[in-house]
Amino acid sequence: MASKPSSSRQQKHLAVLIDADNAPAAIVEGLFEEIAKYGIASVKRIYGDWTKPNLGKWKQVLLDHSIQPMQQFAYTSGKNATDSALIIDAMDLLYTRRFDGFCLVSSDSDFTRLAARLREEGLTVYGFGEEKTPKPFVSACDKFIYTEILRAVAPEAPVEPVVNDGKAAAANEPAKPAGKPRPQKVPLDFIAQVLDDIADDDDDWVQLGVLGQNIGKLRPAFDPRLYGFKKLSDLIKGYPKRFELQARGSSASGGKDLYVRSLSTAK
């Protein structure tokens, strides 16, 4: 009888719940590419009042990404019934015990308690929201990804030649597409402090993966892409005066294990 594959080799099943009122449709491509890194999006639902014109951009991409729209009318002015519907569905899905984690896509702090409750059940919570997202919601997630780094740069519209004065020509120029956010300042002191805290007394070297895990526990929103680097190893390499990176032996996957140390504490 064939043995059942270990759970570590199985991909996680994730429920993706999107708050359409607090998430731009421009992130959809990058959103699901990012989610694919963590598991399979077994359920994809998006919540909003689809009778309103402000969700028009989301309507255009729902079929392409097989996202199920969940209609929620606003029963009372000034109250967000969409949040309540999303939370109720999340709890219903939680008790099916079919999922390993949830992806909550919103910049709304109202989902802070939901994220904490899901984690209390031992599930992994991935949050996706804009940089304006309140810190309590960010901290309530296991990992939080700012959606600015997921936005695709829109292609520029073709410009028809215009024979006119400078002012008229300027008026006919297309608006420049919104690109990715300007890289933030790298928290070098924070990274060095984490290295110092987890390094052995007799050895300054720390496995890069362990460093990344500990940084994520302390700052769920930490992401090398926010600072202009694709991976944590690239960020470390970018500051040779602060950190040293070393490849050792070979890992289980056949590659080499990467170790890092802070040069400020190196013996």
Q: How far apart are CA 181 and CA 228, in angstroms?
A: 9
Q: How far apart are CA 118 and CA 136, in angstroms?
A: 15
In this structure, whether the domain defined by 13-150 belongs to CATH 3.30.300.30 is answered with no
**What is the location of CATH 3.40.50.1010 in the chain?**
13-150
Closest CA to 246 of 232, 231, 256: 256
Cα–Cα–Cα angle for 128, 131, 134, rounded to 5 degrees: 85
Whole-prediction pTM:
0.78
Q: How far apart are CA 98 and CA 91, in angstroms?
A: 12
**What is the location of CATH 3.30.420.610 in the chain?**
188-262
Residue 252 pLDDT: 60
- Identify the residue whose tokens are 């019934």: 81
Residue 201 pLDDT: 75
Instruction: Report residue 229 as tokens.
Output: 């680097």
Residue 76 pLDDT: 52
Residue 203 pLDDT: 81
Residue 264 pLDDT: 74
Residue 75 pLDDT: 60
| Bridge partners, 126 (sequence order) | 103, 143
Q: How far apart are CA 248 and CA 193, in angstroms?
A: 23
Residue 157 pLDDT: 37
Residue 180 pLDDT: 53
**Low pLDDT (below 50) residues in the chain:** 1-8, 78-79, 152-178
Reported as a single tens digit per residue, the pLDDT across 163-172 is: 444 444 444 4
Residue 210 pLDDT: 94
Contact partners, residue 191, CB within 8 Å, separation at least 6: 211, 215, 243, 262
User: Phi/psi at 225 (nearest 5 deg)?
Assistant: -65, -25
Q: What is the CATH number of domain 188-262?
A: 3.30.420.610
Radius of gyration of the chain measured on its C-alpha atoms: 22
